[in-house]
Amino acid sequence: MSTKRYLPWLVAAGLVAGLAGGWLARELRAPAVPVLQSGTWLPGGRTVPDFQLLDERGGAATLAQLQGHPSLVFFGFTNCPDVCPTTLTMLTRVQSEIALPGLKVVLVTVDPERDTPTQMANYLQGFRRRYARSDRNTSRARQLDARAGRRRRAHRHAGWQLHDRSLGDRLPAGCRGHECGDLFAALRAGATRERSTRPRQPPRYLTSQAHQATDMSTPSVRRPAVRRPAVSKPGLAARAFVAMQYVIPQHLVSRVVLAATRSRWHSFKNLLIRSFMRGFQPDMRDALEPDATAYPSFNAFFTRALRADARQIDLGTDAVVSPVDGAVSQAGHITGGAVFQAKGHDYDLETLLAGQTAWSDRLRDGEFATIYLAPFDYHRIHMPMAGVLRGAWYVPGRLFSVNTVTVASVPRLFARNERVVCCFETNGMPWALVLVGALNVGSMATVWHGDVTPRRPRVITKLPLTNLAAPLSLAKGDELARFNMGSTVVLVLPRDAIHWDARLQPGETLRMGSMIGRMQPSAAAQTTNQA
C-alpha cells in the first residue's frame, strides 16, 4: 500500500487520538479554586461597564458606588411575597457569616414599571440600613447584562435555582421561586466574580475563603510567591493519562493533528469544527467572523481574529496587561533561578530561556506569570507592554499536555516542552515571553518569522532579527504570535519591576488587554546592556 493510501488513515488516527486526548484533558483538569463547604464556584468574572440606575431615594446609583468594597448583587422584584424576602434574609445571614468589612447587599429590580423608588423603599424597610437598593430600566438592563458577558445557562441547586441570564429580555409575570433568586455577585471595583449558594441544614452558604474580595482601589503588593491550593492525589485515570504521554510519539501525533487542522476539505473541516463547538462551546460573539463554519480550515477557525472592539487594552503607561485570554496557572516571585510550576515542582529559569545566561542573569530573582490557554480561548498572543524584540530562539523538547493534571505531575514541564523564547527590552528593562508548546499543538508562529514549529533539525536555533515580516518594535496590545492549538505562555520580568494585581491568583480567568500588574518606577532604571 502506498504512502498516499496510508495518509488518510494516519490523519484519522491522529484526529481521534487528538480529540480523545483533548476530551480527557478537559475532563481531568482540576480547576485551582477554593473548596467550598457548600455551593458552586463560578470563575471568570467579566469587567462591569459603567451604568446609572435609580436608587430608592430617587438618586443616581452608579458603578462608582460599588468600587472600593465587596458587594453582593441580587436581581429580583418586589411582587414576590414569599421567596424574595426569604432570599434577602438569606443574604443577610451570608453577610453576617462572612464578616467582610464594608460588604454591602444591592437589590436590583427587574420590574421597574411596578418597582418605583417609593415601592422599593417601603419593601426594604425591614432589612439592614446598609443595604443599597437600585432600580433599572429594561433597555439599560439588557445592555448592561450583555456587556457583562452573562450567558443563558441555569444551575439547579437544592432549595432554589440560580439563573445566569440576560434579565432584560422579559419581565417575570409573577414569582416562581427561582425568578427571585436570580444571581448575586461579589463586585470588586468594576470586576465581577459570580457565586451561587446551595442552602443546606444548617445553612453554611459560603466559606470566608471564597469571599476574599479585594479592595482594588488600594495598590497591589508583590508577594514572595503565589502557591496553588493543595489538590488531591490524581486518580487512576489521571495517572494513566500522564503515563500515556511518556510513551506515545508526541511529535508524530502533533504533525498528524497539524495536517488535519489545516485541511480545506469542506466536509472534513466542518466536521472538526462542529465537533469542537459541541465539546468546548467557544464564545464566537467576539470573533470577527462569528460563523464557525465560514472559516476555510479548522486552524483558521481556531486562530480566529477578534473584532477591533472585542478587547479593551489598558493603555495606562505603568499598566502591564495580559497577553492572552486564559487562566492563571501560577504567578509570583522567582527564587534565584527557580520558577514555581506546581506543588513540589520548580524549573530552571536559564533552561526555560534556551540557556541564554545573558538574559537569565538579568531576570534572576524576578517575577513571573504563567497563563494557560484552554481550547475554547482566543489563541493569539499580544504584547503585554510596548517593547523591542532583542532575541528569539526555538527550543526543541517534549510535547506534554499543559493541563492542570499534567503540570502537577510532570517535573520541569515548561522547561522540557518545545517552546519559542522571545526576549524584549522596554526602556532598557529586560523581559521575556515564552510560548510553550503542548501535545496536539501543531505549530507556533510569530509575526516576525511565521511558523516556527514544527522545525528541522530539532536543535536550539537562534531566530533571525533581520528581513522580518513585522517591525522589531511593537506597541502594547499588538499581536506578536499565535498558537495553532492551545498551550501556555510564561511572562518573566526583572526583580522589583512590577507589582502584580491582587487578583492574579491560580485559576483566575484573564482577558487579553486587562491589567495584571503595574510597573514600578525603578524598572525604568534597569541597565541598558544588550543581551
The CA-CA-CA angle for residues 405, 409, 411, to 5°, reads: 135
Q: Is residue 248's pLDDT more than 70?
A: yes
Please check the confidence at residue 210 and state whether its pLDDT lies above 50: no
Average pLDDT, the chain: 73
Confidence of residue 40 (pLDDT cuts 50, 70, 90): low
Instruction: Output the pLDDT for position 7.
Output: 52
DSSP annotation of 414 reads H
Order of strands, edge to edge, in the sheet holding 71-76? 40-41, 191-196, 184-188, 71-76, 104-109, 132-134
Residue 298 predicted with pLDDT over 70 = yes
Residue 262 has pLDDT above 90, yes or no: no
> In this prediction, what percent of the chain has a pLDDT beyond 90?
34
Q: What is the pLDDT of residues 137-164, one digit of tens each?
A: 444 444 444 444 433 333 322 222 222 3
Whole-number pLDDT of residue 117: 81
Catalytic residue among 487, 499, 501, 514: 487
Average pLDDT (279-300) is 92
Tell me: the pLDDT tens digits for 174-207? 333 333 333 333 333 333 333 333 333 332 333 2
pLDDT beyond 60 at 250: yes
476-502: per-residue pLDDT in tens?
999 999 987 768 999 999 999 999 998
In sequence order, the β-bridge partners of residue 161 are 156
Angle value at C-alpha 274, between 271 and 277, nearest 5 degrees = 150
Judged by DSSP in three states, 82 sits in coil
The model's pLDDT over 68-91, given as tens digits with 9 standing for 90+, comes to 777 777 777 777 655 566 666 677
Task: Please report the beta strands in 298-386, taking only residues with DSSP state E, as ranges in sequence order.
Answer: 319-321, 326-333, 338-342, 345-348, 367-372, 380-382
Position 437 scores a pLDDT of 85
pLDDT of residue 81: 59
Comparing 10 with 129, which gets the higher pLDDT? 10
The pLDDT confidence band at residue 473, using thresholds 50, 70 and 90, is very high
Q: For residue 47, is pLDDT > 90? A: no
pLDDT at res. 180 = 33
pLDDT of residue 456: 74
Which of 111, 164, 325, 377 is labelled catalytic?
325
pLDDT for the residue 169: 32
Predicted confidence band of residue 20 (pLDDT cuts 50, 70, 90): low
Q: What is the pLDDT of residue 166?
A: 30
> 9-23, 59-73, 376-390, 428-442: lowest mean pLDDT where?
9-23
What is the Cα–Cα distance from 36 to 41, expressed in whole angstroms? 8
Assess whether 166 carries a catalytic annotation.
no
Catalytic entry in 69, 157, 379, 382: 382
Residue 443 bears catalytic tag: no
pLDDT(518) > 80:
yes
Buried-state track 20-39, b at ≥16 Cβ within 10 A, e below 16: ebbebbeebbeebbeebeeb
pTM, two decimals, is 0.60
The end-to-end CA distance of the chain, in Å, is 53
The verdict on domain 40-206 having CATH code 1.50.10.10 is no
pLDDT tens-digit profile of 321-350?
999 999 999 999 999 999 998 877 899 999
Parse the chain into domains and list their residue ranges.
3-29+232-294, 40-206
| Position 512 pLDDT exceeds 80 | yes
Has residue 15 got a pLDDT over 80?
A: no
217 is catalytic: no
pLDDT tens by residue, 364-389: 999 999 999 988 899 999 999 999 99
d(CA 15, CA 440) in angstroms, rounded, equals 9
More confident residue, 35 or 293: 293
Residue of 363, 325, 362 lying closest to 483 (CA atoms): 325
Query: Which segment of 101-110, 401-410, 469-478 scores lowest on mean pLDDT?
Result: 101-110
Who has greater pLDDT, 465 or 49? Answer: 465
**pLDDT tier at 13, thresholds 50, 70, 90:** low
Which residues on adjacent β-strands are paired with residue 462?
A: 393
Which span out of 35-39, 257-261, 334-338 was modeled with the highest average pLDDT? 334-338
